[in-house]
């Protein structure tokens, strides 16, 4: 390891040196704890008695080799602090951990699994000119082993069920909420104790690798959630690791996050090395296809508050990490969950940006959902909530999210957010999703949304799959399947997502009708998208559609088979003169233009 680079925060491979590494005859353990008085290695291999670790290099690193130790054994570091206390810690660079409430690290051999996904890795792209339809899921609550919701499915069990489901439903990527080890189920993985440890809830490191490999062999990309901002306060983990604030700020004013966790101190080179090595670890060792980084607003601004100013050290860290990751993994996707107006989030670092590929469009999400919450009459007043997104859209490369954050904590599910009664919510939700999938930007939808889920997400329970026994939910699910597949098969909906030529308003000033019309384009295809978000039938007229001879309906959200009330012809028809159509209430339509 480049020790100088370690201290300066310039390396991405610290985990190849630190942690527990399996050799032919044993395991070599190393840890970094500059303020420790001494460190003892304890574990299965010595009946939890102490092996005194020796200091190496500049005395800030500790090492011990255990002959005969093997993969799967448990261990901890007993760190003797300057205040006289001895605290047992898991390994910050450990490749595995026990299931909570236990907290020992587990020896894992990262070379034990051989990937068979070379074809996928060679053809992988960042999807800028390709469809990107992401199914976001929480691994432990997609499905369960039994009706009592008491047992998680393993990585292998989920893989055999999930992959056919994704292919049938038209998703080409998944994004998994954090899989690093965490003690509290309710944190969903966002308050981590093991940044290099796949959670043992669902199996081992090898089993996770096998799951990702299987996804790739079925042409499904896999993104993981990564938290570079904060970590869990548990005493056995990173907090006060060597008896001092080694990873966190010593000052509680900036040391504690709004979630009650410890903020990483990004001005320290050792912390930068730890985080950027962890990001590389998931991309290289597990073949993840990208990383969604959580709470980037808390990287940009002190405590996520613009009034407190830019955290320049943290911003420099994220630039350096993103640039380094893109150099090593140019086709990996880096996306930012960021709700601020900080500029150039998705511009390359060399052009003054933060170096992300995509930014979640939180403005689009909030404006759209608020619009559909309102009574149809009030949508005339709020008409331009839906046109505003295109005023700023080309400032970043946006991804449109309807994520887990929108279906928890009293916010109601997507369908429940729709105005009106139970049956009246579904046509609005169908129109909303057609609007989402025709609007420029890549797509992300959280599990359960496609079922018309009515119960807020709960990490302790599986999705309500029994809803599909009810016709209104089964029809909604069928609609979502067809919409997903139409998106994947229609280049005009994705190829020019980030070119102004890819979108053109046809009508965006029909406030009294709550009608919108726009075109999506690419080099060889044009599609016309028309929406009526009012509760009345609206006649839409267009005197002329330039250079259009024929028109074909591709999808209508009001089709009978989806729970609508009408049958529609999907034949190509000649267009002569004026284009006139009667739009049913809460209806979206997409036409192929020729």
CB 584 within 8 A of CB 521: no
Q: Please tell me which residue in 337, 397, 497, 558 is annotated as part of the active site.
A: 337
Q: What phi-psi label fits residue 540: left (phi over 0), alpha (psi between -120 and 50 degrees) or beta?
A: beta
- Based on its alpha-carbon atoms, the radius of gyration of the chain, rounded to whole angstroms, reads 26
19 φ/ψ angles, rounded to the nearest 5 degrees = 100, -160
Distance CA 431, CA 436 (A): 9
Distance CA 589, CA 257 (A): 45
Hey, CA dihedral for 202, 203, 208, 214, is it positive or negative?
negative
Hey, CA dihedral for 386, 388, 390, 395, is it positive or negative?
negative
Catalytic annotation on 248? no
Nearest by Cα to 314 from 285, 351, 354 = 354
Catalytic annotation on 294? yes
Helical (H) or strand (E) element with 122: helix 118-123
Q: Please tell me which residue in 294, 357, 367, 382 is annotated as part of the active site.
A: 294
443 φ/ψ angles, rounded to the nearest 5 degrees = -120, 145
DSSP reduced 3-state for 194: strand
Hey, CA dihedral for 268, 274, 276, 279, is it positive or negative?
negative
Q: What is the β-pairing status of strands 54-56 and 133-137?
A: unpaired
- Which active-site residues does the annotation give? 294, 337
């Amino acid at each position: 390891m480049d020790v100088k680079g370690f201290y300066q925060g310039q390396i991405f491979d610290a985990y190849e040196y630190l942690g527990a590494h399996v050799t032919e005859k044993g395991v070599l353990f190393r840890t970094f704890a500059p303020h420790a008085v001494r460190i003892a290695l304890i574990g299965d291999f010595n009946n939890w008695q102490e092996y005194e670790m020796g200091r190496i290099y500049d005395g800030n690193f500790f090492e011990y080799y255990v002959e005969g130790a093997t993969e799967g054994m448990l261990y901890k570091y007993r760190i003797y602090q300057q205040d006289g206390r001895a605290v047992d810690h898991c390994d910050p660079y450990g490749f595995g951990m026990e299931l909570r409430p236990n907290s020992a690290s587990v020896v894992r051999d990262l070379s034990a699994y051989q990937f068979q996904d070379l074809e996928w890795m060679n053809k992988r792209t960042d999807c800028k000119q390709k469809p990107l339809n992401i199914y976001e899921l929480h691994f432990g609550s997609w499905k369960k082993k039994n009706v009592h919701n008491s047992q998680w499915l393993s990585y292998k069990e989920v893989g055999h069920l999930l992959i056919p489901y994704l292919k049938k439903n038209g998703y080409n990527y998944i994004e998994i909420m954090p899989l690093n080890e965490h003690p509290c189920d309710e944190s969903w993985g966002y308050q981590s104790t093991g940044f290099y440890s796949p959670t043992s809830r669902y199996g081992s490191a090898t089993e996770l690798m096998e799951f990702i490999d299987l996804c790739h062999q079925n042409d499904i990309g896999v993104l993981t959630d990564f938290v570079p901002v904060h970590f869990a306060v548990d005493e056995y983990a990173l907090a006060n690791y060597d008896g001092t604030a080694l990873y966190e700020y010593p000052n509680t004013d900036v040391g504690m996050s709004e979630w009650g966790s410890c903020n990483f101190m990004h001005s320290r080179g050792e912390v930068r090395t730890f985080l950027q090595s962890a990001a590389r670890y998931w991309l290289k060792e597990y073949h993840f296809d990208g990383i969604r980084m959580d709470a980037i607003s808390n990287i940009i601004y002190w405590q996520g508050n613009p009034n407190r100013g830019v955290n320049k050290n943290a911003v420099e860290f994220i630039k350096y990490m993103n640039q380094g990751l893109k150099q090593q993994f140019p086709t990996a996707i880096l996306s930012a969950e960021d709700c601020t107006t900080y500029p150039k989030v998705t511009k390359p670092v060399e052009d003054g940006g933060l170096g992300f590929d995509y930014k979640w469009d939180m403005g689009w999400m909030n404006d759209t959902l608020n619009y559909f919450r309102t009574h149809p009459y009030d949508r005339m007043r709020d008409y331009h909530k839906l046109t505003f997104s295109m005023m700023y859209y080309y400032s970043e490369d946006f991804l449109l999210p309807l994520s887990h954050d929108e279906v928890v904590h009293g916010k109601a599910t997507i369908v429940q957010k729709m105005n009106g009664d139970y049956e009246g919510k579904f046509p609005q939700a169908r129109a909303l999703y057609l609007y989402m999938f025709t609007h420029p930007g890549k797509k992300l939808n959280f599990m359960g949304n496609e079922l018309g889920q009515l119960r807020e997400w709960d990490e302790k329970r599986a999705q309500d799959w029994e809803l599909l026994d009810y016709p209104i939910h089964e029809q909604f699910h069928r609609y979502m399947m067809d919409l997903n597949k139409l998106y994947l098969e229609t280049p005009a909906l994705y190829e020019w997502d980030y070119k102004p030529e890819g979108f053109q308003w046809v009508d965006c000033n029909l406030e009294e009708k709550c009608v919108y019309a726009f075109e999506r384009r690419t080099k060889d295809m044009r599609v016309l998208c028309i929406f009526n978000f009012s509760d009345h039938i609206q006649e839409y007229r267009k005197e002329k559609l330039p250079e259009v001879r024929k028109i074909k309906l591709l999808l209508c959200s009001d089709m009978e088979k989806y729970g609508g009330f009408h049958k529609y012809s999907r034949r190509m028809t000649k267009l002569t003169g004026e284009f006139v159509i009667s739009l049913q209430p809460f209806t979206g339509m997409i036409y192929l233009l020729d």
